[in-house]
Homo-oligomer: A and B are copies of this chain.
Amino acid sequence: MTFKINKKFYNSSYHITDLKLCSLRLHDNFRFPWVILIPKRKNIRDISELNSKDQILLIKEIVKVSKVMKKLFKTNKLNVEKIGNIVPQLHIHIIARRKKDKTWPLSVWVVKGKNYSKKDLNNILEKFNRVLK
């Protein structure tokens, strides 16, 4: 059986690009610039279950995407979170925060999400494409 992305991610996020280890997806929440990194490995629920090589790839991809987020959204405040309470498949949230965002300084989890409009979705996906190509 090959690696598969959990169906819930298809309903809640959009493909941006594939990195060496991870699939990079935009989380469908207009309130925060928010991406998820999903390692393309089967049956992995925790960072500690990745092999050493993949652990290093993961931190490098977290750093790469962190730099993209800081640049695109003009902030140096990032939340980087491995939670997985709802969807156990290993995935890392990287969220650009601002002092004026909806929940600052609280967690993004204390407020309900809001889906992107088609227009805003296109805009943000274009932004990522410009900086990642």
Contact = CB atoms under 8 A, between A and B. Distances in A.
Copies in the complex: 2
A82 interface: yes
A78 B46 contact: yes
A47 B80 contact: yes
A46 B67 CA distance: 10
B82 A81 contact: yes
Contacts of A48: 62-63, 66-67, 70, 78
A58 B62 CA distance: 12
Contacts of A105: 85-86
A131 interface: no
Interface string A63-106: 10011001000001111111111100000000001000000111
